[in-house]
Structure 1
Amino acid sequence: MASHRLHRTLRVGRLQRTVTISPELWLKIVGYLSPRDVLRLARSSKDLRSLFMDPSSKAMWKAARKSVGCPDPVSGFSEPAWANLMFFNTCSFCCERIVRNVDFCLLTRICGNCAGEEIMTDPLTGSDTDVATLIMTLIPTRSVYDQVYCVRKEFEAVKEKYLSLSKDKIDAYCEERREYVKEVTNFIAIGTTWIQMRTKERQQGLVQKKTDRASVIKKNLEAAKLGAAFDSPKFSREFQNHPLVKTSQDLTEQVWSNLADIMKLAKRVIKEEDERESQALLLQTRTALATAIFHGPFPSLYPKIPSIIDFLAYDRLKVILHLPGMINVDEHLLKLIVNVFREQWTAKTRDELVRILGLDQTRAQLQLARNVFKCHGCFPSRTLFFPEVLEHRCCSHLRGTGQRCVWTAEYLSRHETLMAFMPTFIRAIRLYPEIATVGDIAALKQHYHCKICRRAGRFDGGFRNVYGWRSFIEHMGDKHSSAGRGRLSYPEDFEIMPSVEDPLKRYEASRGCRLCQDPKCVLNT
């Protein structure tokens, strides 16, 4: 910043007054500048060039280097040349192309175009191999794999100097050059460390400048009552990635005038957020009303289904709930939707169950007792009839969590073995498989004895393996039909037992057999 102000001073015609400043005052001034700033000043005019290029100005250059912690120049470098090498990202040969990294092995910056001409490789070939080998020990080199590189001009200059010396001066010259090479070698680590520290500090400074700039812009937006836009993650991302926010330059009035698009974006985001909140509140109110109407006194054969979860997933209801606020969604409309939903849901669910059975049946035939489902979500798998299958927990709750979900038939399948056995069982109890329902079987109040299983001891006067109709069907299907016994028949494989009417016998039956302690085994005494 100080160098820029000094440049402006020179441009308005105050050059003479600036140049005539005393050396002591100049020394204080450059203590706040870097060698880069001092070199830019020296290049700005002939008078300042003569001032800073004078050998007596070394103290000024030293003060400038101290302000940024720059290491001392290597022997053979003047202060201006050292500042140019360390602070200006241009090629040391063409002075045009950008080269961001210093080659400390060769103490130069070189672009790709100049490297082919200015850098030598394998200079040890030729008639004067011994001389070339000696010269390579007197100049800085860089080794990459088996290749040795050096600066061509430096090689030729040292070689020319070496060949021009008399024998009595060659040893001293060689020793001087070897010391120089040693100094360059030792400086590699110093220079690399300083560059890394400077790069890190510069990056931290740029990040801080960007952060400060974004903070100032944010405060200005808040002052304009647009701070609520930052509550939107989308706006925050766009704000941080905006080119005028990411830059590290100081925020000026001109730059602020160019941020009108950010202000427009903030206004649009705030408007969208307000509309979104209003729509969310409207949706919440409509959902509460729909829930209350759905749970109202509607006649239903199965009160547990469909659930409010199924209703809220209904496509038509979603469309109505998301209508604009100007459209009135009243109780009458929602009642119509509830009625339509119940009809469609019932039809859809029954069609799904018919599909699972895999038969050419109508919805009305689902209630026939010959149709049996198996649930693979239960362990062990459970036998289900219609309509209890509609209210089965695995169809309406998520496994593992117990949370209510949209009704699904994912775990249901056709129970092949029992559907093969049910016609035989229904005919045995003198009903017709084409019309018999689960209610018809339950109304008989009979018990059934499995003849396939071994008979229990007779000392208690009873029989083992006597079941109610549902337990008997599961027993025959899971234990005998699935065991590969083949088609079961009556009366060879089972017999019908009279019902238990005595209260004491009913109590004993509920406890199970005193021999096997099986609650499905009825004891008759």
Structure 2
Amino acid sequence: MARKKIRTTNAKGEASQADRNGVTGARKRNGTASTGRKVQCGRLADMPKMPLDILVEIFSLLHPADLVNLARTSRDFRAFLMSRGSAPSWRAARKQVDGLPDCPPFLSEPAYANLVFFTECHGCAAPDCTDNVVWSFALRCCAKCKGKQLLQVGSIGRKLVSQLQEKTRGKVLLAARLSSAGQYYYHRPEVDRIRKLWEGGFSSDAERLQFYACAGQNVRLRREFGIALSRWVADENARKSAELRLLQDGRIQEVERRLRDEGWGKDLDWSSGAALRLIKQMKSVCKAQKLTDREWTTIRKDAVQVVEVRRGYRLCEERVEELRPRLELLSRVVAQWEKAQDSWSADTDWYPTFTDFALAPAFRDCIDVSAETAFEDDVLLKMQSHMSDLAARWREDRKDDILKMITDALGSATPDDVDPLSLAVATFDCVFCPHKGMRWPQVIAHRCARWRELVPVKDESLYYRRAVIACERRGRWHMWDSEAFVFNPSLERSRAAIKACGEDPDTAIYEDMERCGVRVFCSDCQRRCEALDWKMAARHEKDCSASFQQLNAEDTAKALELEAFQQSQAENARLADADLVYGCRRCRYHGFLADISMHCASVHKINLKTVKVDVDYYLHTDNPPHIPAPIRIYSLRRRQAVLTANVAVEEKAAFVSSYI
């Protein structure tokens, strides 16, 4: 194979080109070949060749930080700007900064500019060192270098401190703080210098006095310099903050102006500027930058979404004001109907409220008409005689809602010849409170279905929101909503318990299960065996496998006898339980025992001492379903604590079984 020809170049031309490109002789000696590229020179590459008087004039117009950066660009600039002859240029540049204190005698102009305008650590050049800054020491350091540069006041040898304070009254060492509430520090290099001089001694009294005078003067200069520079920094920060606030306010005002130009002014002013306050909190709006057209296209979408929501609220508010006389008339009609009731009891706890009636189609068609349509009060007043029928219709509608929840949960397992509401498994748990195992019609009397904050909104129509606003202004409950309930979460365990009782879980009726008299026990609970009815078994420990077995006739009889005793005790206690809800016999108010007593006394003028149950108040439907405590079973076949068993049996809370 023929050898590849090697390209030759003019050595002299290559050398001259290398010299022009700045290639050193060492690089050529190392044998590194030139790439032949043309080196791009910087914009300031020819600046050092300018006349000196022009450079001095340019330097005097620059900022001190610009001079420091310029000195870092090339050796020529560094050599000139670090020389003593450049001091006038540094002083002229410093005059460009308003209010900046003069350079102290213990600092050079470049060091002063670096201290004030750059945040690098003076020890390791770490960036963004703004926490550990002591102007009196002309020091800026990072957290790692803090221990090398600063020394706590109490960490210096007591002998040295006492001698210094005794001889010089503490004027040769300057102590400073990092913050107004922080501890005092000494500058470690200064401490080391003073210690070396002090321990080395002085050749004469004159030398010692001169040392005291110079050290004291240095302390005064540094303290005055630190105070002056701290004030300037604080003023400068305040000025910058004011400028940023001005830019931020201008940006917000520009956003507001553009929204008003698009016709959103009334919505921005509604509710004391609620929409505008939300827009001001948006990160894209509250920037300290001037708003551009390109940014506005991004901001506008989010801002308009906020204003559109407030516009919907404003329109609702305006419409509520139009409907207010009609809703107030309906409120009076409902109040008269409630007042006409002979006596309130558990059978009337399900009655619909003002908001429920307001959403009923019969009243909604009368109320929710345009302002131009003539409205006559007689239309609502005539419907007062049909309130009971409308209430019954409302109850049937809620019944359909509950039936739908049952059929959706059971699916094909729902029997055709049995009312789904009567099924033993047809129970409901509240999403918001501990009420579990509720049945129809208790669910329509439960308070959580009307809580304002908890019930989710399904109907987003304007009329719904108007009715909500109206009922909130009157302190009324919201309309009833089935979203507050979940269908039997323990369905599988309930089916297992019913099956263990010998009934079909798909067709078992609640009343039949209550009368069956069968008791079961969990075969998994070896240490704590209990006699359970079907409801107790459905709520049994979730860790168990729901393997229930029937008790024999003898043990079942014992369990039923003890349950009857406990039930008689519980019924008497429930009539005076302070944690239960009671209803007023004279109105639809309901509350706890203390609340219902005060209500009867303050509203119905009944003597507080004579308020009686079943006369002035009754046990309200909206209480947790009563599930008695299970009866404990002690087995003769297993080793049990005899003393515990005897005590439990004597208290009629357990029995001993020879079967288990």
TM-score of the two chains, using structure 1 as the length reference: 0.49
Pair member with larger Rg:
1
